[in-house]
């Protein structure tokens, strides 16, 4: 082939590729949540999807793939085509603790963080009918007859929280794993568990009572809830979550999604829905979220190893 024709073909391929990227997205985008519908990650994911589809000009479909602390869905996402049409909305536990505990096929290099969307401290919550109405009641039962803490699968941040509580009170707390936060609340309501960890919308969504917040300071959202530090047990356990794409997703697509996420989070619709749900917004762009994610992956791995939860 003459050099001129070869050059022309190469230029045509580049132009075709550029045009394809410029047209993204050309069809519906799927956002996978690795827990059941109605759970802690599902709610902000749907708020975000509703606003992002306006910005992207295409339908954004939220699907739920529950199982094994989010690892079933995360594994599927890590193996999905990296074309920008397969995304995941995942929390800290699924992305930074489960790989250390379960030896998952995915790890820190399996995803590209697009944007952080929410972050908020955990609250120690109980059902009003539980008979536990204060931290002192909780501590007395934990160190006396014993109690059961429930949450997502072993290795989730709820599980880590139960371990932290056991250390605070120098006792062993039984853990009842579920498929996700919604199921954990059902265990409380059914009397099969005594407590769980939840976000600041524990009251408006489920009518639960909070005994303490796992944070250095009281929250403006729930200012009446004392910190664990006020009872002599300082803590800082926060749950963050955000949008991820499979590794290998083109930079142009990542940039488009990053921008769309930022725009969506700035809308009155998203901010209003998050406020009604008592959820705390925290935005990070792709570059900042990537650095944060990698640091959290290493730090949480060390934490789990120090707690004896990782088999060497």
Round to whole Å and give the CA distance between 230 and 270.
34
Does 285 lie in the same domain as 147? Answer: no
**Stretch 106-122: mean pLDDT:** 96
For residue 182, give its domain range: 123-231
What pLDDT is stored for residue 20 in this prediction?
44
More confidently predicted of 9 and 220: 220
CATH code, domain carrying 225:
3.40.190.10
Q: Residues 75, 101: one domain?
A: yes
37 shares its domain with 105 = yes
Q: Are residues 114 and 244 in the same domain?
A: yes
* Predicted pLDDT of residue 15: 42
Based on the fold, state whether residues 203 and 274 are members of the same structural domain.
no
Q: How far is Cα 124 from Cα 26, in angstroms, rounded to an integer?
A: 44
Task: Give me the helices (H) in the chain, please.
Answer: 3-22, 42-56, 71-79, 92, 98-102, 135-143, 157-169, 181-189, 202-206, 251-265, 268-276, 286-306
Report the alpha-carbon distance of residue 226 to residue 214 in Å, rounded. 9
pLDDT at 14 exceeding the cut of 50: no
Res. 13 pLDDT band, cuts 50 70 90 = very low
pLDDT at 312: 63
CATH code: domain of residue 267: 3.40.190.150
What does the pLDDT read at residue 175?
A: 96
- Residue 109 and residue 18 share a domain: yes
Instruction: Give the mean model confidence (pLDDT) for residues 208-222.
Output: 95
Distance in angstroms (rounded) separating the CA atoms of residues 160 and 150: 11
Q: At what angle do helices 268-276 and 42-56 cross, to 10 degrees?
A: 170
Side-chain-side CA neighbours of 221 within 13 Å: the count stands at 21
Q: What is the mean pLDDT of residues 4-28?
A: 59
Least confident of 47-56, 60-69, 76-85, 154-163: 154-163
Task: Tell me: do 208 and 104 sit in the same domain.
Answer: no
Q: How many CB atoms lie within 10 A of CB 225?
A: 22
Q: pLDDT digit string (tens) for 284-306?
A: 999 999 999 999 999 888 878 87
pTM for this predicted structure: 0.79
Are residues 224 and 300 located together in one domain of the fold?
no
Residue 78 falls within a domain, yes or no? Answer: yes
Number of domains forming the structure of the chain: 2
pLDDT band at 184 (very low <50, low <70, confident <90, very high): very high
- pLDDT per residue as tens digits for the range 130-148: 999 999 999 999 999 999 9
pLDDT at 180: 76
Binning pLDDT at 50, 70 and 90, where does residue 22 land? low
**107 and 39 co-located in one domain:** yes
């Amino acid at each position: 082939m003459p050099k001129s024709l070869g050059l022309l073909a190469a230029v045509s391929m580049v132009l075709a590729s550029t045009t394809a990227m410029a047209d993204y997205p050309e069809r519906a985008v799927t956002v996978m949540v690795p827990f059941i519908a109605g759970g802690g990650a599902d709610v902000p994911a749907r708020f975000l999807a509703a606003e992002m589809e306006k910005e992207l000009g295409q339908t954004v479909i939220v699907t739920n793939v529950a199982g094994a602390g989010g690892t079933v869905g995360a594994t599927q996402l890590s193996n999905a085509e990296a074309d920008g049409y397969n995304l995941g909305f995942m929390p800290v536990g699924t992305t930074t603790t489960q790989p250390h505990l379960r030896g998952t096929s995915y790890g820190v290099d399996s995803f590209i963080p697009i944007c952080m969307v929410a972050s908020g401290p955990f609250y120690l919550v109980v059902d009003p009918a539980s008979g536990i109405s204060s931290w002192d009641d909780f501590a007395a039962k934990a160190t006396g007859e014993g109690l059961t803490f429930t949450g997502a699968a072993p290795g989730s941040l709820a599980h880590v929280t139960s371990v932290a509580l056991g250390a605070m009170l120098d006792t062993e707390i039984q853990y009842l794993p579920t498929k996700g936060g919604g199921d954990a609340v059902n265990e409380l309501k059914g009397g099969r568990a005594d407590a769980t960890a939840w976000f600041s919308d524990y009251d408006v969504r489920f009518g639960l009572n909070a005994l303490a917040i796992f944070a250095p300071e009281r929250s403006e959202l729930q200012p009446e809830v004392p910190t664990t530090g006020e009872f002599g047990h300082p803590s800082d356990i926060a749950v963050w979550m955000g949008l991820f794409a499979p590794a290998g997703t083109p930079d142009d697509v990542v940039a488009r999604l990053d921008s769309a996420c930022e725009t969506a989070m700035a809308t009155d619709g998203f901010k209003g829905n998050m406020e009604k749900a008592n959820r705390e917004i925290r935005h990070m762009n792709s570059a900042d979220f990537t650095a944060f994610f990698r640091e959290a992956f290493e730090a949480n791995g060390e934490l789990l190893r120090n707690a004896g939860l990782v088999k060497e």
